Chains A and B, each alone.
Chain A
Amino acid sequence: DTAVSQTPKYLVTQMGNDKSIKCEQNLGHDTMYWYKQDSKKFLKIMFSYNNKELIINETVPNRFSPKSPDKAHLNLHINSLELGDSAVYFCASSPLRRQETQYFGPGTRLLVL
Protein backbone atom coordinates (compact mmCIF):
# COMPACT_ATOMS: atom_id res chain seq x y z
CA ASP A 1 0.00 0.00 0.00
CA THR A 2 2.95 2.30 -0.70
CA ALA A 3 1.75 5.81 -1.50
CA VAL A 4 4.64 7.09 -3.63
CA SER A 5 7.11 4.52 -4.89
CA GLN A 6 10.32 4.91 -6.85
CA THR A 7 12.56 2.46 -8.65
CA PRO A 8 15.36 1.76 -8.40
CA LYS A 9 16.28 2.61 -4.83
CA TYR A 10 19.99 2.64 -5.64
CA LEU A 11 21.68 3.33 -8.96
CA VAL A 12 25.43 3.14 -9.53
CA THR A 13 26.59 3.88 -13.04
CA GLN A 14 29.45 5.19 -15.13
CA MET A 15 29.80 8.69 -16.53
CA GLY A 16 28.26 9.07 -19.93
CA ASN A 17 25.57 6.44 -19.43
CA ASP A 18 21.83 7.08 -19.79
CA LYS A 19 19.53 6.01 -16.96
CA SER A 20 15.88 6.29 -15.94
CA ILE A 21 14.15 6.51 -12.59
CA LYS A 22 10.49 5.58 -12.31
CA CYS A 23 7.89 7.00 -9.96
CA GLU A 24 4.33 5.96 -9.27
CA GLN A 25 1.75 7.28 -6.82
CA ASN A 26 -1.49 5.60 -5.81
CA LEU A 27 -2.92 8.56 -3.91
CA GLY A 28 -5.01 9.85 -6.80
CA HIS A 29 -3.06 13.11 -6.81
CA ASP A 30 -2.99 15.35 -9.86
CA THR A 31 0.45 16.87 -9.37
CA MET A 32 3.82 15.14 -9.27
CA TYR A 33 7.34 16.46 -8.76
CA TRP A 34 10.99 15.60 -9.04
CA TYR A 35 13.45 16.94 -6.49
CA LYS A 36 17.23 16.64 -6.20
CA GLN A 37 18.93 16.51 -2.80
CA ASP A 38 22.65 17.11 -3.08
CA SER A 39 25.46 16.17 -0.72
CA LYS A 40 24.84 19.32 1.34
CA LYS A 41 21.26 18.15 1.85
CA PHE A 42 19.63 21.00 -0.03
CA LEU A 43 16.39 19.78 -1.55
CA LYS A 44 15.60 21.57 -4.81
CA ILE A 45 12.69 21.17 -7.15
CA MET A 46 13.49 20.15 -10.69
CA PHE A 47 10.11 19.62 -12.36
CA SER A 48 6.44 19.40 -11.62
CA TYR A 49 3.63 17.97 -13.71
CA ASN A 50 -0.05 18.58 -13.26
CA ASN A 51 -2.19 15.91 -14.86
CA LYS A 52 0.56 15.04 -17.35
CA GLU A 53 1.26 18.69 -18.20
CA LEU A 54 4.64 20.24 -17.36
CA ILE A 55 4.09 23.10 -14.89
CA ILE A 56 7.45 23.84 -13.29
CA ASN A 57 10.74 23.41 -15.09
CA GLU A 58 13.61 24.79 -13.07
CA THR A 59 17.04 25.53 -14.45
CA VAL A 60 17.96 21.94 -15.05
CA PRO A 61 20.30 20.72 -17.83
CA ASN A 62 18.37 19.43 -20.79
CA ARG A 63 20.04 16.06 -20.21
CA PHE A 64 17.22 15.60 -17.70
CA SER A 65 13.88 14.83 -19.31
CA PRO A 66 10.75 14.03 -17.32
CA LYS A 67 7.98 11.97 -18.86
CA SER A 68 4.48 11.51 -17.53
CA PRO A 69 2.58 8.73 -19.31
CA ASP A 70 -0.42 9.28 -17.02
CA LYS A 71 -1.13 11.28 -13.91
CA ALA A 72 -0.06 8.46 -11.61
CA HIS A 73 3.42 8.17 -13.11
CA LEU A 74 6.31 10.57 -13.56
CA ASN A 75 9.59 9.15 -14.80
CA LEU A 76 12.93 10.89 -15.03
CA HIS A 77 15.39 10.09 -17.79
CA ILE A 78 18.95 11.33 -17.58
CA ASN A 79 21.27 11.33 -20.58
CA SER A 80 25.07 11.45 -20.54
CA LEU A 81 25.40 11.22 -16.78
CA GLU A 82 28.03 13.40 -15.11
CA LEU A 83 29.76 13.14 -11.75
CA GLY A 84 27.77 16.13 -10.49
CA ASP A 85 24.52 14.28 -11.05
CA SER A 86 25.29 12.10 -8.02
CA ALA A 87 22.57 12.87 -5.50
CA VAL A 88 19.35 11.54 -4.06
CA TYR A 89 16.37 12.09 -6.34
CA PHE A 90 12.96 12.27 -4.72
CA CYS A 91 9.63 12.00 -6.43
CA ALA A 92 6.63 13.60 -4.74
CA SER A 93 2.94 14.12 -5.34
CA SER A 94 0.24 16.42 -4.03
CA PRO A 95 -3.48 17.03 -4.39
CA LEU A 96 -4.40 19.70 -6.90
CA ARG A 97 -5.92 22.03 -4.34
CA ARG A 98 -3.25 21.49 -1.68
CA GLN A 99 -0.08 21.53 -3.69
CA GLU A 100 1.94 22.65 -0.70
CA THR A 101 1.24 19.34 1.04
CA GLN A 102 3.58 17.00 -0.74
CA TYR A 103 4.11 13.29 -0.21
CA PHE A 104 7.57 12.06 -1.03
CA GLY A 105 8.78 8.76 -2.35
CA PRO A 106 11.67 6.95 -0.62
CA GLY A 107 14.28 8.43 -2.93
CA THR A 108 16.72 7.04 -5.50
CA ARG A 109 20.37 7.25 -4.55
CA LEU A 110 22.33 7.86 -7.74
CA LEU A 111 26.10 7.52 -7.77
CA VAL A 112 27.96 8.36 -10.97
CA LEU A 113 31.51 7.01 -11.14
Chain B
Amino acid sequence: RKEVEQDPGPFNVPEGATVAFNCTYSNSASQSFFWYRQDCRKEPKLLMSVYSSGNEDGRFTAQLNRASQYISLLIRDSKLSDSATYLCVVNPRAGGTSYGKLTFGQGTILTVHP
Protein backbone atom coordinates (compact mmCIF):
# COMPACT_ATOMS: atom_id res chain seq x y z
CA ARG B 1 0.00 0.00 0.00
CA LYS B 2 1.33 3.44 -0.92
CA GLU B 3 2.07 5.78 1.98
CA VAL B 4 -0.08 8.51 0.44
CA GLU B 5 -2.77 7.67 -2.09
CA GLN B 6 -4.72 10.01 -4.30
CA ASP B 7 -7.11 9.57 -7.17
CA PRO B 8 -4.94 10.72 -10.08
CA GLY B 9 -7.96 11.98 -12.02
CA PRO B 10 -8.01 13.81 -14.30
CA PHE B 11 -10.89 15.91 -13.10
CA ASN B 12 -12.37 18.06 -15.85
CA VAL B 13 -14.78 20.67 -14.55
CA PRO B 14 -16.37 23.86 -15.93
CA GLU B 15 -15.57 27.25 -14.50
CA GLY B 16 -17.60 27.96 -11.42
CA ALA B 17 -17.90 24.32 -10.40
CA THR B 18 -17.09 22.93 -6.99
CA VAL B 19 -14.61 20.07 -6.97
CA ALA B 20 -13.26 17.90 -4.16
CA PHE B 21 -10.12 15.82 -3.96
CA ASN B 22 -9.44 13.06 -1.48
CA CYS B 23 -6.29 11.56 -0.10
CA THR B 24 -5.56 8.73 2.31
CA TYR B 25 -2.36 8.04 4.22
CA SER B 26 -1.14 4.81 5.75
CA ASN B 27 0.99 5.95 8.69
CA SER B 28 -1.32 6.66 11.63
CA ALA B 29 1.53 8.41 13.45
CA SER B 30 1.76 11.11 10.78
CA GLN B 31 1.99 14.54 12.29
CA SER B 32 1.21 17.19 9.74
CA PHE B 33 -0.52 17.45 6.42
CA PHE B 34 -0.48 19.77 3.44
CA TRP B 35 -1.72 20.40 -0.02
CA TYR B 36 0.82 21.50 -2.59
CA ARG B 37 0.02 22.65 -6.10
CA GLN B 38 2.14 21.89 -9.16
CA ASP B 39 1.49 23.63 -12.46
CA CYS B 40 2.47 21.88 -15.66
CA ARG B 41 6.27 21.68 -15.97
CA LYS B 42 6.72 23.81 -12.86
CA GLU B 43 7.82 23.22 -9.29
CA PRO B 44 5.46 22.29 -6.45
CA LYS B 45 4.28 25.15 -4.26
CA LEU B 46 2.63 25.02 -0.87
CA LEU B 47 -1.10 25.69 -1.21
CA MET B 48 -2.20 25.25 2.38
CA SER B 49 -1.68 23.31 5.57
CA VAL B 50 -4.39 20.98 6.80
CA TYR B 51 -5.51 21.12 10.43
CA SER B 52 -7.70 18.76 12.42
CA SER B 53 -10.24 21.53 12.86
CA GLY B 54 -10.33 22.15 9.12
CA ASN B 55 -9.19 25.35 7.53
CA GLU B 56 -10.27 27.65 4.78
CA ASP B 57 -8.35 30.00 2.52
CA GLY B 58 -10.65 31.87 0.19
CA ARG B 59 -12.21 29.37 -2.18
CA PHE B 60 -10.14 26.50 -0.79
CA THR B 61 -11.13 24.36 2.20
CA ALA B 62 -8.99 21.57 3.62
CA GLN B 63 -10.18 18.92 6.04
CA LEU B 64 -8.40 16.22 8.03
CA ASN B 65 -9.94 13.11 9.54
CA ARG B 66 -7.29 11.43 11.66
CA ALA B 67 -9.50 8.49 12.60
CA SER B 68 -10.01 7.59 8.94
CA GLN B 69 -6.53 8.81 7.89
CA TYR B 70 -8.17 10.91 5.24
CA ILE B 71 -7.49 14.39 3.90
CA SER B 72 -9.63 16.41 1.53
CA LEU B 73 -9.43 19.61 -0.48
CA LEU B 74 -12.51 21.44 -1.70
CA ILE B 75 -12.30 24.13 -4.34
CA ARG B 76 -15.36 26.32 -4.80
CA ASP B 77 -16.13 28.52 -7.80
CA SER B 78 -13.32 26.99 -9.89
CA LYS B 79 -11.26 29.33 -12.05
CA LEU B 80 -9.31 28.53 -15.20
CA SER B 81 -6.17 29.34 -13.21
CA ASP B 82 -6.93 26.52 -10.78
CA SER B 83 -5.90 24.01 -13.46
CA ALA B 84 -2.93 22.17 -12.00
CA THR B 85 -1.91 19.00 -10.22
CA TYR B 86 -2.78 18.97 -6.52
CA LEU B 87 -0.38 17.02 -4.33
CA CYS B 88 -1.39 15.60 -0.97
CA VAL B 89 1.61 15.73 1.36
CA VAL B 90 2.17 14.08 4.73
CA ASN B 91 4.91 14.63 7.27
CA PRO B 92 5.43 11.20 8.85
CA ARG B 93 6.87 12.28 12.18
CA ALA B 94 7.79 15.37 14.09
CA GLY B 95 11.24 15.84 15.47
CA GLY B 96 14.49 14.07 14.78
CA THR B 97 15.82 13.47 11.33
CA SER B 98 12.42 12.77 9.78
CA TYR B 99 11.01 16.17 10.51
CA GLY B 100 11.40 17.54 7.01
CA LYS B 101 10.88 14.24 5.21
CA LEU B 102 7.67 14.90 3.35
CA THR B 103 5.83 12.09 1.61
CA PHE B 104 4.03 13.19 -1.54
CA GLY B 105 1.04 11.59 -3.17
CA GLN B 106 1.02 11.05 -6.91
CA GLY B 107 -1.16 14.10 -7.37
CA THR B 108 -4.64 14.74 -8.75
CA ILE B 109 -4.87 16.50 -12.09
CA LEU B 110 -7.50 19.22 -12.35
CA THR B 111 -8.49 20.89 -15.59
CA VAL B 112 -10.98 23.75 -15.43
CA HIS B 113 -12.52 24.59 -18.79
CA PRO B 114 -14.54 27.61 -19.94
Contact = CB atoms under 8 A, between A and B. Distances in A.
Interface of A: 31, 33, 40-45, 48, 55-56, 90, 94, 99-107
Q: How large is the interface on B (under 10, 10 to 19, 20 to 34, 35 or more residues)?
A: 20 to 34
Given A43-B44, A101-B46, A102-B46, A48 B104 contact: no
B100 A56 contact: yes
Contacts of A56: 97-98, 100-101
Interface string B71-102: 00000000000000101000100000111111
Interface of B: 32, 34, 42-46, 49, 85, 87, 91, 97-102, 104, 106-107
A57 to B, nearest CB: 9
B106 A100 contact: no
